[in-house]
Structure 1
Amino acid sequence: MTYSATLPDTLDLAAIRARHTLLLLARLWQGNRARVDLARELGLSRSAISSIVTELMDARLVQEVGQRGGGQVGRRATLLALNGRAVYLLAVDLGASHMRVDLLDLHCTTIASRTTPHDILCGPAITYARLTGLAQEVLAEAGVPREQVAGVGAGVPGPVDYATGLVVQPPNMPGWDGENVMAGLEAALGLPTRVDNDANLGALAEARFGAHRGVPDLIYVKAAHGIGAGVLLGGRLHRGVRGGAGEIGHISINESGPVGRSGNPGSLESYAAAQVLLDSAEARRAAGAPTRLPQPLTLADLIAAAGTDPLARTLWAEAGHHVGVAISTALNLFNPSAVIIGGRLSQAGEVFLQAIRDTALSRTMRINADRARIDLSTLGADASVLGAGAMLLDHLFTPAGLRHLYRVAASVRAPPPTPPAAGPSESAPHLPFSFGGMS
C-alpha cells in the first residue's frame, strides 16, 4: 500500500473544530485569557477563535469576566473564563473505614462535601445506599439539580478492572470480588460513572493539583490500611493491561517473611500496613517496650505520638524503611522524578518520610536516584476526590465528552445549543453518555 492510499479523501472539518474547541477549553481551565491570547497560543485566526468562543458562550461553558488590567495601550482586551458552575461533578472516595462524597465544579473546587465512617465489609448494597444518601445531601446543600451533574468519579481501595468497573479479588474488600462498582453506582445515582483504584486517583490529583503538578513522571504511594501506588509515565497514568499496575503493597520485600493479606510471603503490607503497625505496637508493649501510648491504641494515637513516644518513633522508622525498600524497586523500574507519599500513614510526618528517603535512595541506582524527589503529599485527605475530578475531566475534555458537556449545560435552559458534530472516526455514543470503556 502506498502512502497516499492511507490518506482520507477529505478533511474531517467537524472533528478538527471539536479538537480546537477542546484545546481552547483546556487553556481556559488553566486560567483566564483574552481572545487574542487564545489565537496566539493555539495558532488559529481571530475569526476562528471568535466563532468557537461564541458557541461556548451560547452553551454557558465560557463567560466574559471583564477587561485585562495593566498598562495596555489602546483598547483593553476582554478576558474569558471557563464557567465552572455550568456543569458539576460528583466525586466519591470509598475507603476501608470511611466514605466521602463531594460536589465539584469544573475547576474541581468543592462546593459541598459529606464524610461518614463506613466499614467496607458491609458490602455493596449497603455501601451504594449510603453513598446515594450522601450524594442527595450535597446536591441539596448546593441547590444543584441532578441533571446539572455531568458524571460520577469514584475511587475504591482495591484492584479495579478499569474498562469494566469490576473489582478483582480485593484483599481488603471481602464480599466485593466480581462486583461491578461502575454499574452499581450508575444504577444507584442515575448518572454516568467512572471507577478506578484510589492510588491511581491520587496520582492524577498530584499531577494536576499537587506540589509536583505538571511533572510527567511521578509515583503516588497511598499508605493506609492497604498500600498501593499510582504510576504516571510520560504524563499518562499507567494502569497496565487490566488496571492492576501499581500494587506495590504486594511486592515481596522479604521472600521468607510473613504471609500478607494477598497470600504472598513477605509483602510490603505484611510489614507496614496500618493494622500491622497497631498489632506490632501492642505486642512490643506486652514484651516490655517503654511507651506512653494509650490503651486501647488507635491509629490516630500512633500517628500523634510519632515524634515523641519512643515506641511509636521506632515503629514509624521501621515502617518507613520497609516502604523505602519497595520504593527503591519502583525507582529502578520507572525512574520517576517524584515519589509522593499520601494516605493516612503519611500523617506520621518526618520520622516516617526520612526513613523512606534514607532507605529508598541508598538502594537505588544513582541514575535513578539523583533527580528523584520523595515528598509527603500536600493534598491530604482531598487527594482521592481531586483525583476523581481529574479522571472525569480527562473523559469530558474529549470529543464525546464535549457533546455530553453541551447537553448537561443545556439542561438548565432551552433551547439547547448545537454541539460539535462527530467525525466518522469519533461517532457519538448512544445516549445516555457513558464513560464505560474509555481510556
Structure 2
Amino acid sequence: MPASPSTARAINDRLALRLLQQEGPLTAGQLKQLTGLSRPTVADLVERLTASGLITVVGEAGEQRRGPNARLYGIVADRAHLAALDVRTESVSVTVTDLLGRELAEASVPIGDDTGTGPAVEQAVTLVERVAKEAGAEQLHTVGIGAPGLIDPDTGELRDSTGLPAWHRRLVAALQERLPRARVIVENETNLAALAEQRDGAARGRDTFVLLWLGHGTGAAVVLDGALRRGASGGTGEIGFLPVPGTGGVPSATDCSGGFHSLAGAAAVTELAGAYGLSGEQGGREPAAAELVRRAAESLAEASPGETSSGTASSGDGARAADFLDALADRVALGVASVVAVLDPGCVVLGGEIGQAGGEVLAGRVAERVGRMSPLRTEVRASALGGGAVLRGALLTARERAQDELFAPACPPTHPPR
C-alpha cells in the first residue's frame, strides 16, 4: 500500500534533516543527489523545513556560483540547547551543547562523601544552571543524565539502590522542578558508555557486543542485534553481583562484596597493585586505580629488549608491572568468560577509566585467557573513550530525543518511544 502524501512528505523531511545532521550544510542539488528525490520534491521540502524554523541558509557553495541553486542549507543549531550529566558517587560533570552536539560550555564539581543530600543536590543543580548560562542557553530543551544504579524499565526512573548516595535519586526530581520546560531523562551510566563506544569508539560498526565497565564499580552493558538490552527489572549487566572464585564469599541481594566487584572494582585493583609493589594514591578512587594500571601498561609497552616472547618484562619494575597486569587479567577474564558463555557477543569492550588505562596491553592478556577458557571466538578491545563515554552517551541520547521531538511536526519518529 503506497504511503499517503502527508506520510511521504514526513519521510522525505526526516531523511533530509538526518543528512543535514550527518553531512553538514548542503545545497538543494546535493540533497537531490543524496536522497534520490526529484527537484520539485526537494524544493518543496526545503521551503517547508525553512518555514518551520528547522533549517536556514548558512552560506553559498563555491565562490563562482550564485543564486538559489548555490544556497547552502543547514540545521538551525541554536533551535535547542541540550545538557548532559555524568553523575558519579563523588562528582558531577556537565556539558551543554547546541542541537548539533557542538560543545558550548562544560564544568564539573566534586561532591564529598560527607555532603548532605540537600546540599549535594543544590551543588549539582547550580552547576547545571551555571554551565547553561555560560553556554548562552536561555533554557534547556533536553537534559540527559548518566548515573550508576538500576533504571526502572517501566517508569524510566532511577531506582533506590543500596550503596549509592541518596542525592542521586533526588537530583532528577530537583532538575525537573528547576527546569520545568526541559525534558529530563536518566539512563544507567554503563549503558550510555556502550552507546557512545558503538557510535564513536571501540565498538563502532558492531551490532552485537558487551561493554564491561571497570571503574569505581563494575558493570556491563549488553547490545544484541543493534538493541540495548535492559532486562525485566532493568538489571541486565549487574555483573558486580556475579559470584566468582577468589573472593572468599558470595554477594548478597544488597551487597556485591564477594562478587566480581570485589575482584575488579577500583579499590580491589589498587590493593592488587600494592601486593605487587606498585604504589599510588590510596583510597580506592577511580583515577588512582586507573593511574596504576596505566603506568603498568605503559612500562610494558615501552619495554622491548627485556621482554619475553609472551610480552612479559624480565626483571625489575617491568616484571612487577607484568605480574600485576597478569593477575588483573586473570580476574577480569572471569567476568568476561562468564558473559561470553551466556551471550556469545563476539566482542567485549573493556570500558571505564581502568579499561581504557590498560589499553591493548590488558585487553590482549584478557583475550588470551578467555581464549583458553571458552570455545567461543571473542574479540577483547580496549575502550577508546574511557570515562568520557558516559557524558558522550548522555549527550547522544539527549540529542536523539530532542531531534525526535523537534523534527516531529514534519516527521514521525523512526523508532517507537521508550
**Bin for the TM-score computed over the shorter chain:** 0.7 to 0.9
The structure-2 alpha-carbon separation of the partners of 1:101 and 1:48, relative to structure 1 and needing over 3 Å to count, comes to same
1:339 aligns with 2:344: no
User: 1:62 deviation in Å?
Assistant: 2.2
Match of 1:271 in 2: 263
Structure 2: gaps of 5 or more residues: 300-316
Match of 1:375 in 2: 381
Contact 2:125 2:171 in 1 (8 A): no
The structure-2 alpha-carbon separation of the partners of 1:219 and 1:41, relative to structure 1 and needing over 3 Å to count, comes to farther
The structure-2 alpha-carbon separation of the partners of 1:168 and 1:70, relative to structure 1 and needing over 3 Å to count, comes to same
User: 1:198 deviation in Å?
Assistant: 0.3
Contact 1:151 1:392 in 2 (8 A): yes
The structure-2 alpha-carbon separation of the partners of 1:157 and 1:324, relative to structure 1 and needing over 3 Å to count, comes to same
Matches within 5 A, 1:89-238: 89-119=82-112, 122=115, 124-146=117-139, 149-175=140-166, 179=169, 182-190=172-180, 191-238=182-229
Partners in 2 of 1:231 and 1:77 — Cα distance?
46
Q: How many residues are treated as equivalent by the alignment?
A: 388
Match of 1:157, as an amino acid? P
Match of 2:235 in 1: 244
Secondary structure of 2:43's aligned partner: helix
Partners in 2 of 1:296 and 1:181 — Cα distance?
29
User: 1:93 deviation in Å?
Assistant: 0.4
Match of 1:85 in 2: 78
1:359 aligns with 2:365: no
Partners in 1 of 2:330 and 2:114 — Cα distance?
30
The structure-2 alpha-carbon separation of the partners of 1:234 and 1:127, relative to structure 1 and needing over 3 Å to count, comes to farther
Contact 1:254 1:265 in 2 (8 A): no
Match of 2:10 in 1: 18
Of all paired residues, the percent bearing the same amino acid is 26
Match of 1:341, as an amino acid? L
Of residues 32, 50, 55 in structure 1, which corresponds to 2:43? 50
Matches within 5 A, 1:411-430: 419-420=409-410
User: 1:29 deviation in Å?
Assistant: 1.6
**TM-score with structure 2 length normalisation?**
0.79
Match of 2:279 in 1: 293
Which deviations, in whole Å up to 9, do the C-alpha atoms of 1:43-67 show, x marking residues without a partner? 4333233222223233443234445
1:323 aligns with 2:315: no
Partners in 2 of 1:243 and 1:438 — Cα distance?
17
User: 1:224 deviation in Å?
Assistant: 0.6
Partners in 2 of 1:52 and 1:123 — Cα distance?
53
Match of 2:107, as an amino acid? R
The structure-2 alpha-carbon separation of the partners of 1:264 and 1:181, relative to structure 1 and needing over 3 Å to count, comes to same
Partners in 2 of 1:120 and 1:38 — Cα distance?
54
Secondary structure of 1:167's aligned partner: coil
**TM-score with structure 1 length normalisation?**
0.76
Partners in 1 of 2:256 and 2:282 — Cα distance?
30
User: 1:25 deviation in Å?
Assistant: 1.7
Contact 2:14 2:411 in 1 (8 A): no
Contact 2:351 2:383 in 1 (8 A): yes
Question: Please, what is the CA RMSD of the aligned residues?
Answer: 3.5
Structure 1: gaps of 5 or more residues: 1-6, 404-418, 427-436
